[in-house]
Amino acid sequence: MKILLVSNFEGGFQPMTVAAATTPLLKAGFDVSVLDTYVDGIQEDRFVGQDLVAISIPLFDALFAGIEIARLVREKNPSAHITFFGQYATINAYRLAGKYSDSCVVGEFETPLLALARHLSGDTQLMLPGLVTTEVIEKGETIHPYMGRDEIHIPTRSTLPPLHKYPQAQVDKLMGSTQIVGTTEIARGCHHKCLYCSVFAAYDGKVFLIEEDVVIEDVRQLVKGGMTHLTFIDADFFNSKHHGVKILRRLHEEFPELTYDFTLRIDHILENKEILLEMAGLNVAFVTSALEFPSEEVLDAVAKYTSLEDIEEAIAFLLGTGIKLNPTFIMFNPWISLEDLATFRAFVERNNLDDIIDPIQYETRLHLYKGSPLLNTASVQALELTEQEFHVDWKHPDPRVDELYYASLTPQEEGIFKRCCLKC
C-alpha cells in the first residue's frame, strides 16, 4: 500500500506535522513518501498510484491550498482515499469530509492515520478512532476528537526537503545573521483559552507532553541537518515549564552554540523572571508574545487576562535580560478606534519596539474561524457579519478603520512570521 503525505504550509518552516505522521506509518511497513508543495511545488505525477493521500492543514493558511490539492488528487487518481489531518482539519472536519475528501482526522493524528492505513489495506476489524468519514457525515453522527498519545515517535526528517529551503526573515532579523532554522515541540495543545485562538478550539485546554528523550533525539537530527537556531513551535512553551527547562539544559550542554526561541504569554514572563534569566544563559535569543493590541478593551474582549501595564513591565524586563521580544498583534480588530491606531505608534516608541516588530504585524486582522468562541460574544454578534464556508467576515463599526486596513495591505511574502504562535 502506497501513502503520500502532503504539506503545503507550516508557517514557512519544515513541516513538523508531516514529519510526526510519517514515523508510525513507516514502522508499520507502509510505503510512505512526502511532498511539501511549499518548497517543491505541486507535482501532479506524485498523486498517481497512491492508495492513500493524507493532506496536512495545521494552519488556516494551509486550508484552501489543501482543498485545491485534494481536488487535483481526485482528478489524477480517482481511486485514492483522500484524508485531511492537522489542527484546522479538526476544526473543519464536518465541512471537509464528504465534500473535499473521503475522511478527515479530528484530534491527534498519528494513531488515526495508522488505523486508516491498516483499514484500507484490508484490516476490516479495525476501529477507526478520531476519523470523520463520508458515512459519518451521511448518518449525522458525531466523532469525538482522538486525544490519546500512545507511543510518541521521533519525527522522520529524512523524507523532508532540507532545512536550508525554509529561510526565516524575521528570525534572521532578530538574530542579526542568517540562520538555518529548525522546529520541534515539547507539547501539543494549550491550557489557556484565549477566545480568538484556534488551539483552544482544537484542544479545549488539554496539553499533551512530548517525552524528553524524543525531543532531544529530534533536535540531534535537526542539528545533523545543519540547524543553527531552533524554534519551539508550542502554543506556549510554559504550558510545560519545568519540562521545557530540563530539555533546554540538556540541549545547551550537548549543543552549546545552538540558539532558541519560543512563544510565551505576558503573564508567564512576569511570573517566571528567574527562570527566564537562566534561559538567557542557555541561549534563548528571543521570545514571541501575542500582545494583541495595547488597549484594555481589546485585551478584555479576547479574554487575555493581562493589562497594558503588565505588557510594558514584561517588555522592560526582557530588555534587561538580553532576551529579545518578538511581538505579534491583532492590529485591526472590532474594538479599536482610529484614535487607538494613532496611539499605537506612541506605544511602540515608548517601548523601543521600532526595530523589532515585523512590518507584517501592522497588517494583521482578527480572523473569525467557524467555531470561534468570539462568535458567541455580544460585541462580535453586534457587528455586520458575513458567513463564509470556513470563517466569518466582519466589518468594523467605523468604515474608516476598514478603509485604512485595506489601504495598508502589501503583497504577502512567503514565509513571513505573522502569528502569535505556529499553531493558529
User: What is the pairing mode between strands 324-329 and 52-56?
Assistant: unpaired
Helix (H) or strand (E) holding 175: helix 169-175
Say what the pLDDT of residue 281 is: 97
In a domain, 12, yes or no: yes
- Residue 186 has a CB neighbour count (10 Å cut-off) of 23
In a domain, 414, yes or no: no
- Alpha-carbon distance of 415 to 412, in angstroms, equals 9
User: What is the pairing mode between strands 368-369 and 391-395?
Assistant: antiparallel
* Domain end call among 124, 139, 154: 139
Query: 302 and 336: one domain?
Result: yes
In a domain, 153, yes or no: no
The CB-side HSE value for 353 (13 A sphere, CA atoms) comes to: 28
Say what the pLDDT of residue 191 is: 87
Query: 103 and 172: one domain?
Result: no
Query: 191 and 108: one domain?
Result: no
- Alpha-carbon distance of 227 to 124, in angstroms, equals 43
Query: 205 and 341: one domain?
Result: yes
| CB-CB contact of 359 with 416 (8 Å) | no
* Domain enclosing residue 316, as ranges: 163-408
In a domain, 267, yes or no: yes
| CB-CB contact of 177 with 120 (8 Å) | no
- Residue 211 has a CB neighbour count (10 Å cut-off) of 15
Residue positions counted in the chain: 424
In a domain, 156, yes or no: no
Say what the pLDDT of residue 303 is: 85
Domain count across the chain: 2
In a domain, 225, yes or no: yes
CATH of the domain at 18: 3.40.50.2300
User: What is the pairing mode between strands 229-232 and 181-184?
Assistant: parallel
CATH of the domain at 359: 3.20.20.70
Query: 310 and 398: one domain?
Result: yes
Query: 370 and 237: one domain?
Result: yes
- Alpha-carbon distance of 89 to 96, in angstroms, equals 8
Say what the pLDDT of residue 359 is: 86
- Alpha-carbon distance of 390 to 132, in angstroms, equals 17
User: Chunked in runs of 10, what are the mean pLDDT values of the chain (424 residues)?
Assistant: 96 95 98 98 97 96 96 98 97 96 96 96 88 93 88 94 96 96 95 84 89 97 98 93 96 98 95 96 96 92 90 95 94 95 93 90 91 93 97 97 90 53 61
- Residue 151 has a CB neighbour count (10 Å cut-off) of 11
- Alpha-carbon distance of 372 to 359, in angstroms, equals 27
| CB-CB contact of 166 with 392 (8 Å) | no
Query: 176 and 122: one domain?
Result: no
| CB-CB contact of 88 with 64 (8 Å) | no
Query: 117 and 241: one domain?
Result: no
Query: 290 and 393: one domain?
Result: yes
The identity of residue 204, as a single letter, is D
- C-alpha R_g of the chain: 21
| CB-CB contact of 80 with 47 (8 Å) | yes
Query: 177 and 115: one domain?
Result: no
In a domain, 13, yes or no: yes
Record the pTM.
0.94
| CB-CB contact of 258 with 284 (8 Å) | no
Query: 119 and 172: one domain?
Result: no
Query: 74 and 18: one domain?
Result: yes
In a domain, 157, yes or no: no
How far lies 368's CA from each of 318, 365, 392, in Å?
A: 31, 10, 5
